[in-house]
C-alpha cells in the first residue's frame, strides 16, 4: 500500500477524541479506582500523577514522533527510521502486548455487556454488597455467559476497526467520548453527595506515605502506561494517521490531560461511594461491578442510570479496544499486505480463543494457573508490569539516542513551521535520554525485590 492510499484522521478534534478514546477506558473506570484502593489512596495518586507528568508525557510525545515520522504501523515505522536494527523489537512488543492486553481487556468488556442486560432485572438493585459480590463471582466463574459476552465485545470492536480509521475509529470516538464524560460527571456528583462519602474523599486526597512500597511504585507506573495507552505502539500507530500540520506536543498534553482528569473523576465517582457503603476500598477488580450497582439501587432513576452507565463503560472499553486491535491490523495490512478484512477476521479468531481461555481461568477451569496466578491475572501482570514499561523504555531510548536531535526537533516543530521552545526541547531530551529509562529500570527492579 503506498503512503498516498493511507487512511488518516480528518480533523484535530478527530485526532483528539481518538487518542482520548484509546486512553480513557477500563483503565480509568475499572483499574484505577481499585489500584488506588489497594495501594492506600492519595499516596498512590500522587506518585501516579508524578509518573504521568515526568515520564509518560515525554514517552507519549516520543511515540507520536516515531509514528508520524515513520508514517506506518509500529513495526514499519521503526523499520523506516532504523532499518534492520534491534529496535524492531519495539514492533514485536507491540503485537505481543496487543494480544496479552486484549486477552483480559475483552473479557472485562464482556462483563460490561452482561451488566447492561442485568440492569434490566431487579436482582441487581439490592443494597447488599454480599449479595452483589456473590452474583458477580457466580457470573465470572461460570463457563458460558462470560465467554459469550467476551466474543460479543470483541465482535463489536472488530466491526469498528474493519470500517477503517476515519469511518470507524474516528467516527465512533467523536460520537461517544463527549457522552461518556457527561455521564461520569453525573455519577461522581451523586457519589459525592451520599452520606458518609467524605471519608472516601479523604482517602483519595490525604496521603499516607507509610504504605508506599516497591509494589506501589510498580503498580503506579504500570497503571500510568496502561491508562495512557503507552509502551506498545498504540500511539505510534495512531500518530501515523495524524497530519503533518498538527502540533504533536499539544496533542500529547491534551490527550494525557483528558485521561488524567477522567481517572480522577472516575475515582471520585467510585471511591466515596465505596466508603459510604462501608465496603473495603481494596475490593480489587470487582469494585465497579459490585459497588456501583449498590449506588444505583439507592438513587432516583437508578435503573436508567445503571443501564446508561454500563453502556458508557462498554463504549469506553470499545474505543480503547479498537486502538489495540488497530495496532495488529496496521501491522498485518502493511507488513504482510493482507486486506483489512482478512487481518481483522484473523485477529478476531485468535483473540476470541485466548480471551476465552483467560475467562475460563477465572473459575470454570481452575487448572489454567501459572505461577499461582490464573491466566486472566497473568495476562494483566505481564502486559502492564513488564511489557509496557519495557516497550516504553525502548521507545524513549530509540527517540533519545537513535534519532538525531535535528530530526527530532524538526518533527516536533513541524519543520520549523510552529514554535517549539528550545529550552523545553532540551528538558524533553534530557528526560527521554536519562530520566525515563533510568526510572523505568529502577521500578522494574523494585518489582523483583519487593
Ligand atoms: N488505555 C486504555 C484504558 O485505560 C487501554 C489501552 C488501550 C491500552 N490501548 C492501550 C493500554 C495500549 C496499554 C497500551 O483502558
d(CA 323, CA 161): 8
- Give the burial class of 253: count Cβ atoms within 10 A of its Cβ; 0-12 exposed, 13-18 middle, 19 or more buried: middle
225 CA distance to ligand 1 middle (Å) = 8
Q: Which atom of ligand 1 is nearest to 320's Cα?
A: 7
Dihedral sign from CA coordinates of 12, 15, 21, 24: negative
Q: What is the set of domains in the chain, with CATH numbers?
A: 3-449 (1.20.1740.10)
| Number of the ligand 1 atom closest to the C-alpha atom of 22 | 7
Helix (H) or strand (E) holding 45: helix 42-50
254, containing H or E segment: helix 248-276
CA–CA separation, 113 and 313 (whole Å): 9
Neighbours of 134 (CB within 10 A): 12
Residue 1: per-residue pLDDT: 46
Supply the pTM of this predicted model.
Answer: 0.93
CA–CA distance from 65 to each of 17, 249, 365 (Å)? 19, 9, 44
Cell numbers given for 376:
486472566
Q: Quickly tell me which residue has 483489512 as its cell.
A: 340
Question: Which pairs with CB-CB distance under 8 Å and at least 24 residues apart come from 335-340?
Answer: 335/73, 335/75, 335/76, 337/1, 340/161, 340/162, 340/164
CA dist 236 and 216 (Å) reads 28
The Cα-based distances of 411 to 59, 65, 111, 247 in angstroms read 15, 6, 41, 9
Cell 504521568: give the residue. Answer: 52
Separation of CA 227 and ligand 1 centre (Å):
5
**Exposed e or buried b per residue across 366-399, where buried means at least 16 C-beta atoms within 10 angstroms of its C-beta:** eebeeeeebbbbbbbbbbbbbbbbbbbbbbbbbb
Per-residue pLDDT tens digits for 58-86? 999 999 999 999 999 999 999 999 999 99
Check if the beta carbon of residue 212 is closer than 8 Å to that of residue 48. no
Q: Is residue 146 classed as helix, strand or coil in its secondary structure?
A: helix
**Cα distance between residue 395 and residue 429, in whole Å:** 13
| Dihedral angle over CA of 17, 21, 22, 25, nearest 10 | 160
CA atoms within 13 A on the CB side of 309: 28
pLDDT value, residue 94 = 96
d(Cα 24, Cα 226) in Å, to the nearest integer? 10
Residue 28 Cα to ligand 1 middle (Å): 9
**Ligand 1 atom at minimum distance from 32 CA:** 4
Pocket residue to mutate for ligand 1, from 231, 323, 387, most atoms within 8 A of Cβ: 323
| Residues in contact with ligand 1 (CB, 6 Å cut-off) | 22-23, 25-28, 101, 226-227, 229, 232, 234, 320, 323-324, 388
Going from the C-alpha of 78 to that of each of 15, 146, 300, 398, 399, the distances in angstroms are 22, 38, 53, 9, 10
Q: pLDDT per position in the chain (450 positions), as tens?
A: 445 568 899 999 999 999 999 999 999 988 898 888 888 899 999 999 999 999 999 999 999 999 999 999 999 999 999 999 999 999 999 999 999 999 999 999 999 999 999 999 989 998 887 899 899 999 999 999 999 999 999 999 999 999 999 999 999 999 989 888 888 888 888 888 888 889 889 889 888 888 888 788 888 988 998 999 999 999 999 999 999 999 999 999 999 999 999 999 989 988 888 788 777 666 667 778 887 788 788 777 778 878 878 987 898 999 999 999 999 999 999 999 999 999 999 999 999 999 999 999 988 787 777 877 899 999 988 998 889 989 999 999 999 999 988 999 999 999 889 988 999 999 999 999 999 999 888 877 876 775
Choice from 30, 96, 101, 319 to test ligand 1 binding pocket (greatest atom count within 8 A of CB):
101
- CA of 127 from ligand 1 middle (Å) equals 32
- Evaluate whether 161 touches 348 at the Cβ level (below 8 Å): no
| 398 DSSP assignment | I
Distance between CA atoms of residues 293 and 216, nearest Å: 28
- Name which of 222, 249, 260 is nearest 379 in CA terms: 222
Predicted pLDDT of residue 4:
52
Centroid of chain to Cα 306: 23
Say how far apart CA 421 and CA 230 lie, in whole Å: 24
CA of 25 to the centre of ligand 1 (A): 7
Ligand 1 centre and the CA of 233: distance in Å?
A: 11
Residue to mutate (ligand 1; options 18, 25, 221, 381; most atoms within 8 A of CB): 25
- Which of 336, 373, 326 has the alpha carbon at shortest distance from 161? 326
- Look at ligand 1, atom 6, and give the residue with the nearest C-alpha: 229
Nearest to 166 by CA among 70, 241, 67: 241
Counting from 1 in the atom list of ligand 1, the atom nearest the Cα of 23 is 1
> Which atom in ligand 1 lies closest to the alpha carbon of residue 28?
4
CA 192 to chain centre: 25
For 95, the 3-state DSSP assignment is: helix
Amino acid at each position: 500500500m503506498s503512503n498516498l492510499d493511507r487512511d488518516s484522521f480528518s480533523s484535530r478534534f478527530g485526532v483528539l477524541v481518538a487518542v482520548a478514546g484509546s486512553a480513557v477506558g477500563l483503565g480509568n473506570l475499572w483499574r484505577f479506582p481499585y489500584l488506588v484502593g489497594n495501594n492506600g489512596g492519595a499516596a498512590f495518586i500522587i506518585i501516579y500523577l508524578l509518573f504521568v507528568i515526568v515520564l509518560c508525557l515525554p514517552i507519549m510525545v516520543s511515540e507520536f514522533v516515531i509514528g508520524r515520522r515513520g508514517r506506518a504501523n509500529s513495526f514499519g515505522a521503526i523499520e523506516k527510521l532504523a532499518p534492520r536494527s534491534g529496535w524492531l523489537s519495539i514492533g514485536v512488543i507491540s503485537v505481543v502486548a496487543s494480544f496479552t492486553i486484549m486477552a483480559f481487556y475483552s473479557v472485562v468488556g464482556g462483563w460490561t455487556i452482561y451488566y447492561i442486560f442485568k440492569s434490566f432485572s431487579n436482582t441487581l438493585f439490592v443494597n447488599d454488597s454480599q449479595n452483589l459480590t456473590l452474583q458477580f463471582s457466580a457470573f465470572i466463574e461460570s463457563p458460558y455467559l462470560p465467554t459469550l459476552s467476551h466474543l460479543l465485545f470483541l465482535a463489536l470492536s472488530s466491526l469498528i476497526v474493519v470500517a477503517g480509521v476515519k469511518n470507524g475509529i474516528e467516527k465512533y470516538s467523536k460520537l461517544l467520548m463527549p457522552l461518556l464524560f457527561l455521564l461520569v460527571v453525573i455519577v461522581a456528583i451523586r457519589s459525592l453527595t451520599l452520606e458518609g462519602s467524605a471519608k472516601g474523599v479523604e482517602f483519595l486526597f490525604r496521603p499516607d506515605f507509610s504504605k508506599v512500597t516497591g509494589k506501589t511504585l510498580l503498580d503506579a507506573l504500570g497503571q500510568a502506561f496502561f491508562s495512557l495507552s503507552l509502551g506498545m505502539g498504540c500511539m505510534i500507530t495512531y500518530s501515523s494517521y495524524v497530519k503533518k500540520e498538527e502540533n504533536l506536543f499539544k496533542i500529547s498534553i491534551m490527550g494525557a490531560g483528558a485521561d488524567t482528569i477522567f481517572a480522577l473523576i472516575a475515582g471520585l465517582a467510585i471511591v466515596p461511594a465505596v466508603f459510604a457503603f462501608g465496603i473495603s476500598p481494596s475490593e480489587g477488580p470487582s469494585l465497579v461491578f459490585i459497588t456501583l450497582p449498590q449506588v444505583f439501587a439507592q438513587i432516583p432513576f437508578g435503573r436508567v442510570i445503571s443501564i446508561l452507565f454500563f453502556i458508557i463503560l462498554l463504549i469506553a472499553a470499545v474505543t480503547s479496544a479498537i486502538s489495540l486491535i488497530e495496532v495488529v491490523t496496521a501491522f498485518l495490512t502493511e507488513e504482510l499486505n493482507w486486506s483489512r478484512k482478512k487481518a481483522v477476521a484473523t485477529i478476531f479468531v485468535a483473540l476470541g480463543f485466548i480471551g476465552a481461555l483467560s475467562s475460563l481461568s477465572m473459575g470454570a477451569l481452575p487448572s489454567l494457573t501459572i505461577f499461582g496466578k490464573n491466566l486472566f491475572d497473568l495476562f494483566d501482570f505481564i502486559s502492564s508490569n513488564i511489557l509496557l514499561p519495557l516497550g516504553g523504555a525502548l521507545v524513549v531510548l530509540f527517540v533519545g539516542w537513535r534519532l538525531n536531535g535535528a530530526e527530532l526537533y524538526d518533527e516536533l516543530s513541524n519543520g520549523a513551521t510552529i514554535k517549539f521552545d528550545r529550552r523545553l526541547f532540551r528538558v524533553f531530551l534530557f528526560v527521554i535520554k536519562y530520566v525515563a529509562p533510568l526510572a523505568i529500570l529502577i521500578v522494574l527492579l523494585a518489582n523483583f525485590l519487593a
